[in-house]
A and B are shown apart, each in its own frame.
Chain A
């Protein structure tokens, strides 16, 4: 599935919720089911700065597609990364670079988007895109 389709799917899922509490409960569940990063990749190099909680993201190229794994010590943060990973993992680096992120807004997480927010959603997206840049360069070489 393309990134855009996945994003539409996520928007559909979130549209079923009536209030913030259901959204948060869903995110907490997502957080609990996040494919965890290998312990060996939970290094300081993989930590995303700008978050109140610790967030690690690791990327690997498989068949020219970028696969992300991640973890966080805070469950809501983990839920947010789970959503990002669902949207961006297993995609071609160039597609990740081209993708927009306004779906975050549409699923009611706009408050997390401000660059000054302590949870660092913006930093996470930036980090995913930086990985995409790095691997895209590698592919082009």
Chain B
């Protein structure tokens, strides 16, 4: 059993008030809050060993390099990558996806097909559309059903020997659906296609084992798993990372440079041009330490309780509809009340100190599918409480009475 009261003490921000009310933070799918342990790691870096890495002979630089590379090892271990150089530090999931999409420009050609799921975040749609524009490849969509589950029967039909790439999120940010990525990966590999899984929403809730999944690329952002913003990771199988050309040119990513020719550094540095977010990378490692000390199994179990309770209580409100009712889902609830615009609901909830996300959640195709302008999304983390769910429910009822 998690000691939520004790866990909450790790998060200074949870003590603050918003609009005169205690903060009820239910926008965890957008960004999670930061525990003192991670804040301390950030402060420690700037107070004690702030220096550029990989190139200084002086002590500070070596200390910073050690800690940064230790963080890479922590990430490798967490995702069970075979080699630490298969972990590339990026600025986040969006950067990771762009890195891969850009690299594939050199590997796919006109008429090749790439598959995307119907429930992607814009960051896992637009880079691939740009890839298709550059190369003449064709983008095809794996549709979903009314519950917000992927139509795996259609996926089977879409796969063929022209399919070169499949990309899909592990968990949908707008609906909370946990996608059957094992099956998606296995079937894609049968036709020789590579798979990129966007793990941004999964990383806070479960541990993906990239070797067991046999996934080609997996990516996530630190700021959704109690880490800082502006840093994330891309896992890529060694073979693929060797095949992809570098994304950006600059310092750190070279072996030798003359005006005639440059040779690139080995993995992972080939993809890490310029001075990276050193402090961010180290804090990312600290965040994984923090989450692992609590334990992902316990986290998932507790968040599921929050999800079940919140779902049950929300559905008691007349006119309320939940979008994303997959059997296998995580602690994200997207909803609307008939006749109320999500923006109005979100504005009133904010006045009550409740932070939710409103809008299309950077997933407009999903909103188009359900023919709605957007939803109100409450997303729960392991530091949320049953009492906070009750405050949300009371807030939604209050807002409803004001708006209708």
Contact = CB atoms under 8 A, between A and B. Distances in A.
B402 A53 contact: no
Contacts of A130: none
Interface string B329-343: 000000000001111
A20 B344 CA distance: 14
B281 interface: no
A41 interface: no
Given A20-B19, A25-B402, A53 B343 contact: yes
Interface in B235-252: none
Nearest to A74: B341
B351 interface: yes
Contacts of A28: 402-403
Contacts of A21: 351, 402
A24 B403 CA distance: 9
A73 B403 CA distance: 13
Interface in A73-126: 73-77, 118-119
B268 interface: no
Contact of A20 (B342, B351, B374): B351
Nearest to A23: B351
A30 to B, nearest CB: 13
B347 interface: yes
Interface residues of B, number: 15
A53 B340 CA distance: 11
Contacts of B343: 52-53, 74, 76-77, 118-119
A54 interface: yes
Interface string A25-55: 1001000000000000000000000001110
Contacts of B373: 53-54, 73
B351 A76 contact: no
Given A24-B402, A74-B344, A76-B344, A52 B351 contact: no
Given A77-B343, A118-B343, A52 B402 contact: no
B358 A52 contact: yes
Contacts of A77: 341, 343-344
B359 interface: yes
A90 B342 CA distance: 32
A128 B358 CA distance: 26
B91 to A, nearest CB: 20
A57 to B, nearest CB: 17
A53 B351 contact: no
B341 A73 contact: yes
B273 interface: no
Interface in B373-404: 373-374, 402-403
A109 B373 CA distance: 24
B348 interface: yes
B341 to A, nearest CB: 4
Contacts of A52: 342-343, 358-359, 374
A119 B344 CA distance: 10
Contacts of B347: 24, 76, 119
Q: Count chain A CB atoms within 10 A of each CB in B341, B358, B402 and give the residue with the most.
A: B341
Contacts of B342: 52
Q: Count chain A CB atoms within 10 A of each CB in B19, B347, B373 and give the residue with the most.
A: B347
A139 B403 CA distance: 41
A75 B19 contact: no
Interface in B46-84: none
A75 B341 contact: yes
Interface in B343-357: 343-344, 347-348, 351
A32 to B, nearest CB: 10
A75 B337 CA distance: 14
Interface in B245-284: none
A28 B351 CA distance: 15
Nearest to A73: B341
A53 B19 contact: no
Nearest to B341: A74
A21 B19 CA distance: 12
Interface string A1-37: 0000000000000000000110011001000000000
A53 to B, nearest CB: 5
A112 B19 CA distance: 14
B347 to A, nearest CB: 5
A52 B374 CA distance: 9
20 contacts: A20-B351, A24-B347, A24-B348, A24-B351, A24-B402, A28-B402, A52-B374, A53-B341, A53-B344, A73-B341, A73-B373, A75-B341, A75-B344, A75-B403, A76-B344, A77-B343, A77-B344, A118-B343, A118-B358, A118-B359
Given A74-B341, A76-B343, A76-B348, 7 more contacts: A20-B351, A24-B351, A52-B343, A53-B343, A74-B344, A75-B340, A118-B359
